[in-house]
Amino acid sequence: MGKLRRVYARCPVCDNVFPTLSAGSYVTIGREPDLCPKFPGRASDGSRLLQSGVTMCPACSFASQGEFSGLDLTFDEQYDLRERLEDDGLLRVFREHPPPWLAFHAAEVCGQELGAEARELGDLCLRASWVCRKEKEQPFESTFQLRAVRYFMRALEEGSLYGREFPVTAYLVGELNRRLGHHREALNWYVNAERALKEAPERGLAWLERLISQQSKLAREQAA
């Protein structure tokens, strides 16, 4: 099991200094087909490790991956973020008693405001869906999967993905669609991922080839 260290973070929006947990190195025992890492021990411990990848300021809800180090924001960015975070509907409802996925949502909002790449925003939503699954928050798991699909599709359309990112992202769009019950969509995207894999022959992607054939077989059975 990984160790969580207590560190202090300074919020780049409101200057609040607060303690937070940071994950050191940790052991995984493989991945689920949507690439969610499996950890030894209880699901709740795995969830805490995943949650430690994102930090949220308890005062203003600013959030990002990591522990805010190296984040330098202009006055205008701070102002816009403050407005955006105050107006956000989910943050308004859940800020008092934050559920385990809230920091990911806040990081998504802040990432949008700061012009983060679609692939990065999709990645945040995917991680949030893993946390929801480990915490058995099913409706929110689906919400985040759907958002991840939208960001990943945008990233694929923009042509901003290089090397292995392209086939891996196409595969994830397939796998998330399958999990959402959209089996036809899923099958189309597994085919796209297979094609992308052939066009960009990289070393060390045999695992992806295996996953694509295994999961498209599953989607075909589920679609029947």
List of residues contacting Zn ion (CB under 5 A): 11, 13-14, 16, 57, 59-60, 62
Q: Which residues of 88-114 are buried (b: 16+ CB within 10 A; e: fewer)?
A: bebbeebbeeeebbbbbbbbbbbbeee
Between 19 and 204, CB nearer to Zn ion: 19
Tell the smallest beta-carbon distance from residue 82 to Zn ion (Å). Answer: 9
In the complex, minimum distance from the CB of residue 68 to Zn ion, in angstroms, rounded to a whole number: 9
Toward Zn ion, which CB reaches closer, 78 or 142? 78
Q: Which CB, 55 or 129, lies closer to Zn ion?
A: 55
Closer residue to Zn ion, CB minimum distance, 56 or 170: 56
Least Cα distance to 148 among 117, 171, 127, 178 occurs for 127
Q: Which is nearer to Zn ion, 102 or 155 (CB)?
A: 102
Which is it for the CA torsion 60, 136, 213, 219, positive or negative?
negative
Tokens representing 75 are 């006055």
CB of 111 to Zn ion, least distance (A): 16
Complex with Zn ion: residue 103 or 208, whichever CB lies closer: 103
* Least Cβ distance, residue 172 to Zn ion (angstroms): 31
d(CA 37, CA 119): 19
Least distance from C-beta 62 to Zn ion, angstroms? 5
Measured CA to CA, the distance from residue 141 to residue 125 in angstroms comes to 9
Which residue, 17, 120, 24, is CA-closest to 64?
Answer: 120
CB contact at 8 A, 220 and 187 = yes
Burial class of residue 215 in the structure, from the number of CB atoms within 10 Å of its CB (0-12 exposed, 13-18 middle, 19+ buried): buried
CB of 23 to Zn ion, least distance (A): 21
